[in-house]
Chains A and B, each alone.
Chain A
Amino acid sequence: MSESHETDAIDRRIINGLQGGFPISEHPYCDAAETLGLSEAELLERLQSLRDSRKISRFGPMYNAERMGGAVTLAALEAPRERYEEIAGSVNAHREVAHNYARDHQLNMWFVVACEDPGKIAEVLREIEQETGCTVYDFPKCEEFFIEFKVEA
């Protein structure tokens, strides 16, 4: 493939068509290539190039921690503007906080807490409340609707 960083129609076919369903077989790239109307060599070359140019961050299995007995929740708090950085520091200091985003809303800090032991989630949220003096709102999922990362390239 060329060194261009522009994605062409074949790249887009790969990115859009191979976000799931990669086979578990002896020659999976060969099988997947057939479905996409490509040769095995071309698919491998394209994937390598897409990964080298970081158009795809990864190629392989995406694991689900919760199905292995762990737990994840989304939580939010309202951090007073003048204490924002200090509070972000306290929240981020917890190893269990995987992501934390500043968002434009009265609840202006949103973070994901992941624990191998589901009972630990409430404990982490309580600690954050004590350290920051802010009420922490817990948004555990009640239901998950078909999660696919469907990027249209």
Chain B
Amino acid sequence: MKETVYRPDATDQRIIAATQAGLPLSPNPYREVAEALELTPQDVMARMAKMLAAGVIRRIGVVPNHYALGVTANGMSVWDVRDEDVSIAGREVGALEYVSHCYHRPRHLPVWRYNLFAMVHGRDRSEVSDKVSAISDILGPRCSSHDVLYSSRILKKTGLRIAS
């Protein structure tokens, strides 16, 4: 990781713990958080703005439940992209609206030849498969082969909890 790491202090940690499940749905959410933590709203807002700028907060907004919205199929598409092209190709694929996570990861030859991973979402497998074909067209000759790994079962899903 090249980026500087931001170490939240004890007050930041309390803000994280108070907001990671969500913001109050009322006109002054930051003031409510501040009152619960006995801080000033200005302090809470300044700290959150700092965490947002540092990337500790990825974004603030709606976290859609894609299953409830009917987007129930997802496939982990994996691509064998020429090393010299992978950074630009990754940005192109990561920008597609139906791709959520997109990463450059190492190969493990001979078992695993793919170096670009992109999670593709759709209403069913055929929609996912159409979108994978569209990515294949975008990558063109930069990619020599690809595969899609569908999840057949969730074995564990606890999510990441950061502070308690």
Contacts and interface: CB of A to CB of B under 8 A. Distances in A.
A67 B6 contact: yes
B126 interface: no
B68 to A, nearest CB: 5
A41 B58 CA distance: 26
A18 B25 CA distance: 14
A125 interface: no
B114 to A, nearest CB: 10
Given A54-B68, A55-B68, A137-B111, A61 B29 contact: no
B139 to A, nearest CB: 13
Contacts of B98: 150, 152
B29 to A, nearest CB: 7
Interface size class of B (residues with CB under 8 A): 35 or more
Contacts of A30: 27
Interface string B66-88: 10110100001000000000110
B56 A44 contact: no
Nearest to A25: B45
A58 B104 contact: no
A131 to B, nearest CB: 15
A80 interface: no
Given A27-B28, A91-B155, A109-B155, A54 B94 contact: no
A40 B29 CA distance: 13
A33 to B, nearest CB: 10
A150 B147 CA distance: 22
Contact of B100 (A27, A101, A149): A149
Contacts of A139: 105-106, 108, 117
Contacts of B29: 28-29
A38 to B, nearest CB: 14
A21 B59 contact: yes
B61 A24 contact: no
A129 to B, nearest CB: 14
Interface of B: 1, 3, 5-8, 16, 19-23, 25-31, 41, 45, 48-49, 51-52, 54-66, 68-69, 71, 76, 86-87, 90-91, 93-95, 97-106, 108, 111-112, 117, 121, 147, 149-160, 162
23 contacts: A20-B59, A20-B60, A24-B48, A26-B31, A30-B27, A44-B26, A44-B27, A58-B63, A59-B22, A60-B63, A64-B55, A65-B160, A68-B56, A92-B155, A99-B154, A99-B158, A103-B150, A103-B152, A114-B160, A140-B106, A142-B104, A142-B105, A150-B98
For the complex of A and B, the 9 pairs showing the least CB-CB separation, nearest first, are A145-B94, A20-B59, A60-B23, A143-B104, A100-B155, A100-B156, A102-B153, A58-B63, A151-B64
